A and B are shown apart, each in its own frame.
Chain A
């Protein structure tokens, strides 16, 4: 297939109607069918809440959720919405609730770390006046609880009662790469939050798209650091949802000449880095992989770039409001010098990353450019029109982007059709 999709045609993994980035009905459907549907959504890292009572505010899609480690060490997650009037119960980003009780400030309804209602003021009224009916059962008024499962310290939650266990949702291929990063205990180094005026799916495509890597992010070629001799590999989970691609540490000499010719862009190699310690890479996993970017549908990216380790959680605040929460980490046994090295490497990534900051701009450009383009379609056929399990992603393939859409459309198919009818 080579032709552009006709205006108004249904979305395909190779050609998606631009309205998916703008339509508020579609956004509402996504909250139900994707984030609260048959998926496991990333909530945080076990290492962020190491002690009993530790909690961290997080999100599933747009829904505020709190992740808590209970007194017995088990991790729980519940929607941060009081069962009484819907008020936000937990008002801090993180902390420790030593007594394990979360109390809504409005009317003092108290919940335990599992989200079960354990206390209601004046339940029997006062001096025989007021109070709740004697049939009132606190057990029926708990916070909305998520099912929680962890894999290698990454915590996921789901609203779905039917979904398969987390390990099966991730699948053996994705688990193998998660194992790679979490091969020993980690320590959280900090956070950054990037707020993009664009749709969450534009970022989901971006993190799966290796085509743009050396074309949008010009840091490496500007300083003459692009190396054709790098080995790369890409793998997709069976359903297409998740993907990972890796690039091995360069073996050969610098050669960006042929790349420059093909890329239609004058590659500047003249600039020289004053301080190359920024780029230093110290392999610490039993392979030569210097870049590992893994997108787990629908809401997290796991990365190792040089010696930076991070999760990027996608939070959807609206059709054109997407927050990316970067959680940076190192290994628990890092010495001070290793930590400093990671901090130096962190210049490469994140909202101010020398090789990544442009992603925020790309998302916003696509959002702005597709305003009023309902019925028109994107064109995602680099490297073919199919979705394959293995691919060589070194900038020449949009296989994983098609995989995202294949998974997304399988969850959203009916909702998109209904939306199309409604707007017809």
Chain B
């Protein structure tokens, strides 16, 4: 199902564009603010989703856990220095229930490490539920379902 709702469409697309740029600009501390407090953020392999298996490589079921991810990334975790670049498709609205919207969008996450080569690091889709309040969309849940089964080296920066 795909719904034509120009205003909601604009809100969801704007959120996605800002979300991608926030991560790509390395403003990670702002990233949790795209979510409501009682949120669920997951990064999960498509092979698991397709087979009804729940294990995700990132599973944060509170905004606090998102903040912890960022603090750990800044202060504790060791990973290859890199730039991220999100290319996010226009969203498809799949449902509207009161002030909650369901939507999906494809993404390609490019990564450039110190060797200077830009690689397709992760491709997949966002499966989202968003709360629309006072003309702003916030993520209630975002499931990043990735096709790229092989995670190159490791996954530190959120998708």
Contact = CB atoms under 8 A, between A and B. Distances in A.
A358 B79 contact: yes
B58 interface: yes
Interface stretch (A5-13, A347-355, A391-399): A347-355
Nearest to B71: A271
Contacts of A278: 65, 68
A336 to B, nearest CB: 10
Contacts of B150: 193-195, 323
A196 B53 contact: no
Interface size class, chain A:
35 or more
B26 to A, nearest CB: 18
Contacts of B54: 189-190, 339, 343
A190 B55 contact: yes
Nearest to B43: A352
Interface string A345-376: 01100111010011111101000000000000
Interface string B28-58: 0000000000000001110110010111111
Contacts of A352: 43, 57-58, 151, 154-156
Interface residues of B, number: 38
Contacts of B56: 190, 343, 346
A363 B45 CA distance: 23
A328 B55 contact: yes
Contacts of A358: 77-79, 154
B72 A354 contact: yes
Q: Most chain-A CB neighbours within 10 Å: which of B62, B67, B154?
A: B154
B80 interface: yes
A61 B155 CA distance: 25
B79 A357 contact: yes
Interface stretch (A77-85, A162-170, A216-224, A410-418): A216-224
A293 B59 CA distance: 22
Given A191-B149, A219-B76, 11 more contacts: A193-B151, A194-B150, A195-B153, A196-B153, A223-B72, A275-B68, A277-B62, A328-B55, A346-B56, A354-B77, A361-B80
13 contacts: A190-B48, A191-B55, A191-B149, A194-B153, A194-B154, A274-B62, A274-B64, A275-B64, A275-B65, A339-B54, A344-B65, A351-B154, A352-B58
Interface of B: 43-45, 47-48, 51, 53-65, 67-69, 71-72, 75-80, 149-156
